[in-house]
Amino acid sequence: MYDLYPDESEGILDKKFAKLVNKKTCSEIAWSIGLQDHLILGNSKKNINKNDEKILSDACEALIGSIFIDKGYLNTKDFVLKIWKKKINESSIIVLDPKTKLQEYSLKYFKRLPIYNLINSRGPKHNPTYKVSVSIVDSKNYIGFGNSKQSAEQDSAKNLLKGKKIY
């Protein structure tokens, strides 16, 4: 990633890398090269479809590992860059979510992570609403709401960024 994007920050490279090697992307790559047609399945599984992300992504990783063992690093790099070319080009557009933006800002300027606190959750178990606060060094608490703790944290981070005019 560094060779492809030498001017990008470590945070952006990390996001691009994570998106390129996640289960969904690896399974899409496996499907695109027809790897499903070469898998030997057990008795409980008759065939593979695109929804079998775990099987496909594991097979993709195994193929790459096999190429590395058999042909070495440079051939493996060439193979990965070739079959990932479209996904790599798509990775040039990265939108950071508010929680990630706030974390990167806080680490850069204060060397500390934001502090999130669950204030409460209300409503029925099948449809709760969470209330979360977040603060960074020298800030007040900003409140966020969501149907999950994570979405409430995202909302509180967005509110802090907006309140402190951090873009």
Tens of pLDDT, residues 68-105: 999 999 999 999 999 999 998 887 666 678 998 899 89
Domains of the chain: 10-90 (1.10.1520.10), 98-163 (3.30.160.20)
- pLDDT, position 94: 62
- pLDDT, position 97: 85
**pTM for the whole thing?**
0.57
Contact 67, 76 (CB under 8 A): yes
pLDDT per position as a tens digit, 12-57: 788 788 889 999 999 999 999 999 999 988 877 778 888 899 999 9
Q: Of 62-71, 93-102, 115-124, where does mean pLDDT reach its minimum?
A: 93-102
CA distances from 94 to 91, 117, 160 (A): 7, 28, 21
Contact 160, 135 (CB under 8 A): yes
Looking at residue 7, the DSSP 8-state letter turns out to be: T
Angle between helices 73-83 and 53-71 (to 10 degrees): 140
CA-based nearest residue to 134, from 146, 151, 117: 117
Contact 144, 155 (CB under 8 A): yes
Is residue 125 very low, low, confident or very high in pLDDT (cuts 50, 70, 90)?
A: confident
Of 49 and 161, the structure prediction assigns the larger pLDDT to 161
Give CA–CA dist 30/87, Å, rounded: 13
- pLDDT, position 92: 64
Calculate mean pLDDT across residues 98-120. Answer: 94
Q: What is the largest CA-CA distance in the chain?
A: 60
Neighbour order of strands in the sheet with 115-122: 115-122, 129-135, 142-146
